[in-house]
Amino acid sequence: MSDPRIEVIERRLEKVENIIAVSSGKGGVGKSVVASTLSLELSSRGYSVGLFDLDFTSPSTHVILGIQDVFPDEEYGIIPPLVKGLRYMSIIFYALDRPAPLRGSEISDAIIEVLAITRWEELDYLIIDMPPGMGDATLDVIRLIPRIKFLMVSTPSKVAYETVRKQLTLLRGLDFPVIGVIENMVMHSLRLRSQVEEDGAEYLGSINYDPVLEEALGDIERLKKTAMYAELTKIVHHI
């Protein structure tokens, strides 16, 4: 028996022009920071932007952006609040600081529910901060969200890129478009460009490790002045 919520999801997203999933296949590569700063930069260029934190196990975009004491309105669904110039939605609104230990079918049910109840109005871009890995959550997003494109994030680590490579193979096999790969937190001369291009993806550029970034998290004005943010702005034209 089909789930009626799945039909609702497409209607909830029909006014969104571009849907971009920022994904990594592996945690700890700065995916959430890239998703957050990308959203801020697109908004600063005059686009209407939503940021959707779908990392149920460890949502962190609210920490990166300094979002607190705001909650969605409820009217025939959930209306993401406008905060920091973005329409923002996260499981943190409901889980607060408590962990959300979900497994198996619970993950799928939670993702379907949050996608079905969230009312996105007209947006130029919806940026989705994806959960790490290639488990149920990632596969459900691929299955449920139409017109989605993937922006991959890796560090120079061979281990990190190996998981990205596997996800690229998965997405290619399912005919999902990949915008390209960002190499994040570069600390030395190692570059992934040749490996990425050999795997048939576009290398979008590198972002050097920024030692002051940690101190800027939670304050978007300081965040926008970091070297990391400046380097990301050079990559935005690929989006």
Residue 199 is classified by DSSP as T
Q: Which residue has the tokens 């935005």?
A: 236
Q: Which CATH architecture has domain 4-238?
A: 3-Layer(aba) Sandwich (3.40)
The encoded tokens of residue 87 equal 């329409």
**What is the band of 19 on the pLDDT scale with cuts at 50, 70, 90?**
very high
> 105-117 vs 4-12: helix axis angle to the nearest 10?
50
Query: Of all helices (H) and strands (E), which one includes residue 113?
Result: helix 105-117
pLDDT of residue 55: 84
> pLDDT tens digits for 186-222?
987 667 999 999 999 999 999 999 999 999 999 999 9
Q: Is the pLDDT higher at 6 or at 56?
A: 6
Q: Which residues contact 63 (CB under 8 A, 6 or more apart)?
A: 217, 218
Is 0.85 surpassed by the pTM of this model?
yes
Rounded Cα distance between 87 and 84, Å, is: 8
How does pLDDT run across 109-160, given as a tens digit for each residue?
888 999 999 999 999 999 999 987 777 778 888 889 888 999 999 999 888 9
Top pLDDT among 12 and 135 is at: 12
Element (H, E) at 89: strand 86-90
